[in-house]
Amino acid sequence: MGIEYDGSAFRGWQIQVGVRSVQATLEEAIGRVADHPIRVQCAGRTDAGVHADEQVVHFDTTARRTERAWVLGTNVNLPPDVAVRWACSVDPRFHARFDAQARHYRYLIMVRATRSPLQRDRAVWSHRPLDIERMREAGQGLVGVHDFSSFRAVACQAKSPIRHLHYLELSETDGLIQLRVGANGFLHHMVRNIAGVLMTIGRGEAPVEWTRALLELRDRRLGGVTAPPQGLYFVRADYPEGFRLPSGREPAPSTDQHNVPRSCL
């Protein structure tokens, strides 16, 4: 399934006792359609307050339903802040997390003198100007294969800090800066830490060369501020073509919630 959600009212993706999670909410809804308990695996866990355009999940079931029934039936049982965009049968060997070849995120920053009620929980607000050209130049120092120890959370459990950042792009429209990144994988808080460093550079509080210096330091304690979660979106994951998933859109934001692939309905 491809899942879209507003993470504002969730304590993150993963099931946690006593708090609202995307995973628990989704499993309950799918379980009603399947008529048996369901456990889902996702392409990439998201933190509290983080959103998703197309989180990919897989689950095993003995239930016989059409793909249309999985989509519509699950959505009927979901709250307004979560929706299934598509559903497809896959090879039993498929795994949403381990078969993902790349993941894509975007981070939104609203730059203006006053806060925006309409962008609350959708973008991070900066009341100070940001020099996007400085941010672009600094960001290019992160592209490629690097040790991202300075950009991972202290509690990150990944075995290796080595990641291949495929691209880092910045654009601005009417005061809304969009940071887009794609990599073979991301460390815990890696995108938020990159955003925090670039914002610091954009304010002129650190030199453009700071990103390269941090890579060389390989020390999170010297890695700057972690940007808030509200501006972060999981855009999509890429998989081998052989699985024939209805993915492959450009990593640009998608606003058409009704654009469900015909082949899955």
Residue 94 near residue 104 (C-beta atoms within 8 A): no
Which residue among the candidates 6, 35, 47, 238 is catalytic per the annotation? 47
Give the span between the Cα atoms of 262 and 265, in whole angstroms.
5
Q: How far apart are CA 259 and CA 66, in angstroms?
A: 19
- The length of the chain in residues reads 265
Rounded to 10 degrees, the C-alpha dihedral 60/63/65/67 comes to 0
CB 108 within 8 A of CB 229: no
Angle between helices 210-217 and 190-202 (to 10 degrees): 140
Please compute Rg for the chain using Cα positions.
Answer: 19
Hey, how many other C-beta atoms are within 10 angstroms of the C-beta on 136? Answer: 17
Cα separation values, 31 from 7, 28, 67, 72, 116, Å? 21, 5, 15, 13, 38
Catalytic residue check, 121: no
User: Could you give the CA distance from residue 180 to residue 45 in angstroms, rounded to a whole number?
Assistant: 18
Which residues are annotated as catalytic? Answer: 47
